[in-house]
Structure 1
């Protein structure tokens, strides 16, 4: 009886990360559906090729994560490691594209006359991609410590979902419509950007609860991730209006041409 119960627990545990990856993919595709995916067929989305490449590459990451968690759950670790090399290349491209898309959006805002609001808001996407890069590098460093590695990969992915969740709030606030998307109008106040970012902490809490029930305590990676992500989110507002940040944002706009 005990052996049967333990076997059932292990079986459920095998698929926890698959379900977490599926939730991440659902948030990513669902959040961007009204402002991107559903606008492709009627051609109401307005933006340069950079944004289309950005969407394809970042979407590929969530699909790769789902595939990787499935391979791991099935014990196909050789395939998992082989695709992991592709993941490293993909993540590197994502960092470059993420920075480029963020700077492009700022420059659109500057051209529209939004000035320091656009410079300040640049902090949101740049810190999101910074969190992704930091957690991903930590995951690679811990590649031989599977329990830490897989949690750090999820934390890296969760860091990227802030834009998807923000678009849900954007649709609720504006009603959406053909061609509607963040980046065309004025940047939202930093206080509004705070809400979708903190909403994603629920995914981290879910991981902590899972660990608590299965291991008796949350894994340290979840705790570190929750503290770091929450701290970054809370510090964005105060930092975005400092002269140092505004000058740095301005310099990025000039460097990018």
Structure 2
């Protein structure tokens, strides 16, 4: 291994650690602001606490894994990696479950139509799961692994961006506004590659393509006949059945 390639590898490790820090800050800021503004409370059902613990736990694990690599503890990083694989499965399952529960009780945020909200969250976590699976498959190819994992994690920052952005003023483009914010992280990776390597590693292009295709699929699925049929099947026999799938819920009253 040449000195130049060693320097590139070390720069990569530092970059991915600080990218993980930035994504963690966005997630903590988004949900902390929600709590500080009185839009959320700890007085919620247990399943919501479990959901939060799993998602924040994944964020902490992702940050720790990048710190381990940046600090040279690669062997420990690899041993813990299989814990992350199981945790990622829990993120996908709980993400879809909680989204379905929200639309079943008619609880979609007022700046999303319910059908879009169902497919936005569900497809986002499925994209996350697919990128993580690909990253695990390519775990011995470090450059691919790092970049696919970073794109997967970037996708999970969407709900936090939705809380940080002025979503009510962005209707009907909230979903694409969140997507644009999410893409700041892969774009930062593209810029870093150009500065460090002089070229962009294809892992970024595959990750960006996966995120982009998922975003387009949300719009298509939410308004398609099969998508609406799936939505109606999900909310059948619940309060969500009375909510129009393609109409915005009423704005909350001003207090």
Q: TM-score range by the shorter chain?
A: 0.7 to 0.9
Q: State the structure with bigger RCO (CA 8 A, min sep 6), 1 or 2.
A: 2
**C-alpha RMSD over aligned residues:** 2.9
Going from structure 1 to structure 2, the CA distance change for 1:151 and 1:57 (only over 3 Å counts) comes to same
| Pairing of 1:201-216 with structure 2 (within 5 A) | 201-216=183-198
Going from structure 1 to structure 2, the CA distance change for 1:123 and 1:38 (only over 3 Å counts) comes to same
Q: Which runs of 5+ in 2 are unaligned?
A: 240-255
Q: Deviations over 1:122-177 (max 9, x none)?
A: 1110111011011011011101111101111111111111111011125x748xxx
Specify which of 183, 202, 216 is matched with residue 220 of structure 1.
Answer: 202
Larger proportion of helix: 1
The question of whether the paired residues in 1 share the 8 Å contact of 2:17 and 2:66 is answered with: yes
Q: Which runs of 5+ in 1 are unaligned?
A: 175-187
Counterpart of 1:181 in structure 2 is none
- For residues 189 and 46 of structure 1, the distance between their equivalents in structure 2, rounded to whole angstroms, comes to 29
Number of residue pairs aligned between Structure 1 and Structure 2: 235
- For residues 28 and 121 of structure 1, the distance between their equivalents in structure 2, rounded to whole angstroms, comes to 19
- For residues 220 and 7 of structure 1, the distance between their equivalents in structure 2, rounded to whole angstroms, comes to 20
Task: Kindly indicate whether residue 229 of structure 2 is the aligned counterpart of residue 247 of structure 1.
Answer: yes
Counterpart of 2:31 in structure 1 is 32
The question of whether the paired residues in 2 share the 8 Å contact of 1:129 and 1:160 is answered with: yes
Task: Kindly indicate whether residue 139 of structure 2 is the aligned counterpart of residue 139 of structure 1.
Answer: no
Partner of 1:217, secondary structure, is coil
| Pairing of 1:45-60 with structure 2 (within 5 A) | 45=42, 47-60=44-57
Task: Kindly indicate whether residue 163 of structure 2 is the aligned counterpart of residue 163 of structure 1.
Answer: no
- For residues 171 and 168 of structure 2, the distance between their equivalents in structure 1, rounded to whole angstroms, comes to 13
